[in-house]
């Protein structure tokens, strides 16, 4: 287990940028801050995004420069990275105690290069960074930041028009880790995901976490040889194995068992989370493994994770007029598989869009088990409500269509669950004053 007090001269931390780069960076940050201030005055949001875009345009090396001189812990994967980042940041912050100001994180979930740069620019003196990282940015993160720890959660089809074939992303991770060699990060990896396992296979050190995964449709084929993977009965839960090559599910260091996490020592802990769902126990297991490896005491890590309630608005309960709504984000079939069982209200509101941030291809609707909503009433809303309605018709689910989000929420004098893709979810947060 690491020592949180060790100096910045340890492996993985790059020296600060040169003086000319620092001057250019300072000027770019000033311009970005002015743009962010203007955005807030205009009522267009926090300004974090425009700050990052201006900053990285004026100082193209800002992403790399702002990461230099810090101990970096990065989190990536298709689903759960925002919540896991919040859990990990809270655990590290609790471990730092009175020195919590040493930590910076991109808490709003802006995880592309300009979003990361925007967050880092506001905490130049923080020497520890816990960074949510888009799957496409992982290779650059490994190259430019030399993260100390990198948490790899899962791979799933998401935004098909943007990410295309997910194995290409996994291959990029694998190559970046191979190039980094012994100077590369310690990987905290989901052993239950075949593509994550293959992607992490070139890392110098991997800590494996056995999660409680319910979605296996995106891990049917071996990423190494293309063979159809088989499920092998084992104690606790089935394990995956490739009959065509040596790739198989690795033995885990940390294991999720129901609502508990089993540590490498055999000790069983029960994280007292304030975020719902078995999938968040898995996210917490990955965050806990990273925190303990970083040197956070167990008690502090668990106490820190308990403080996380609605990361970037996920699982937030808010009011719209007389309607109380709990907001759930689901961006792809794997996310819907986890979110639908949490939605217990009748009616339940489902909000769908298909712009760039959601992914323009909505064919994934046919991979979601909406049949489980049979017997309840569904309100379809958002710009692509008609597409969802067609899918629900085939599923035999009673529904109505109300494209306008506010009208769909109505004046219900009751509590409802709302599951939304990314764009309508952000619109709901704005309507509720949560962003």
Q: Is 242 annotated as a binding residue?
A: yes
| CB contact at 8 A, 430 and 341 | no
Burial class of residue 306, CB neighbours in 10 A (0-12, 13-18, 19+): middle
305 close to 87: Cβ distance less than 8 angstroms: yes
Q: Note whether 195 and 236 are within 8 A (CB).
A: no
225 known member of a binding site: yes
Torsion of CA 389, 390, 396, 400, to 10 degrees: 20
How many other C-beta atoms can be found within 10 angstroms of the C-beta atom of residue 368? 21
For residues 41-75, b (16+ Cβ closer than 10 Å) or e, as one string?
Answer: eeeeeebbbbbbbbbbebbebbbbbbbbbbbbbbb
192 is in an annotated binding site: no
Chain-centre distance for alpha carbon 113: 15
Instruction: Return the C-alpha torsion angle 309, 341, 156, 368, nearest 10.
Output: -140
- Residues marked active site are found at 361
Omega before residue 147 within 30° of 0, cis: no
Closest CA relative to residue 211, chosen from 272, 163, 277: 277
The backbone torsions φ and ψ at residue 76, rounded to the nearest 5 degrees and listed phi first, read -145, 170
Residues that constitute the known binding site for Zn(2+): 222, 225, 242, 245
Residues that constitute the known binding site: 222, 225, 242, 245
């Amino acid at each position: 287990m690491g020592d949180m007090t060790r100096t910045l001269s340890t492996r993985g931390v790059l020296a600060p940028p040169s003086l000319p780069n620092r001057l250019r960076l300072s000027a770019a940050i000033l311009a970005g801050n002015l743009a962010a201030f203007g955005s807030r005055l205009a009522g267009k949001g926090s300004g974090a995004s425009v700050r990052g875009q201006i900053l990285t345009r004026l100082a193209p090396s800002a992403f790399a420069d702002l990461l230099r001189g810090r101990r970096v812990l990065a989190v990536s994967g298709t689903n759960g990275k925002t919540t896991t980042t919040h859990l990990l940041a809270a655990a590290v912050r609790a471990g730092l105690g009175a020195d919590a100001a040493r930590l910076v994180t991109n808490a709003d979930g802006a995880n592309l290069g300009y979003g990361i740069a925007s967050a880092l620019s506001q905490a130049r003196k923080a020497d520890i960074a816990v960074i949510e990282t888009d799957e496409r940015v992982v290779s650059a993160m490994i190259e430019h930041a030399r993260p100390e720890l990198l948490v790899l959660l899962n791979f799933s089809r998401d935004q098909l028009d943007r990410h295309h074939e997910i194995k290409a992303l996994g291959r990029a991770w694998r190559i970046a880790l191979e190039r980094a060699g012994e100077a590369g990060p310690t990987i905290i990896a989901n052993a239950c995901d075949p593509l994550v396992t293959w992607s992490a296979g070139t890392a110098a050190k991997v800590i494996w976490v056995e999660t409680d995964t319910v979605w296996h449709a995106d891990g049917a084929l071996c990423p190494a040889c293309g063979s159809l993977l088989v499920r092998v009965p084992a104690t606790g839960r089935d394990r995956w194995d490739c009959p065509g090559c040596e790739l198989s599910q690795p033995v885990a260091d940390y294991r999720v068992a129901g609502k508990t996490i089993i540590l490498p020592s055999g000790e069983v802990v029960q994280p007292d989370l304030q975020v719902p769902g078995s999938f968040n126990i898995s996210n917490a297991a990955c965050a806990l493994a990273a925190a303990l490896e970083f040197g956070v005491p167990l008690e502090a890590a668990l106490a820190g994770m308990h403080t996380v309630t609605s990361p970037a608005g996920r699982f937030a309960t808010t009011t719209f007029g007389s309607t109380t709504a709990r907001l759930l984000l689901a961006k792809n079939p794997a996310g819907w598989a986890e979110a639908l069982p949490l939605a217990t209200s009748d009616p339940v509101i489902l909000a769908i869009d298909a712009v760039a941030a959601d992914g323009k291809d909505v064919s994934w609707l046919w991979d979601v088990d909406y049949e489980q909503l049979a017997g309840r009433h569904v309100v379809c809303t958002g710009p692509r409500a008609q597409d969802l309605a067609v899918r629900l018709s085939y599923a035999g689910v009673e529904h109505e269509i109300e494209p306008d989000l506010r009208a769909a929420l109505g004046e219900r004098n009751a509590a409802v669950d709302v599951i939304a893709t990314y764009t309508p979810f952000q619109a709901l947060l704005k309507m509720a004053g949560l962003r």
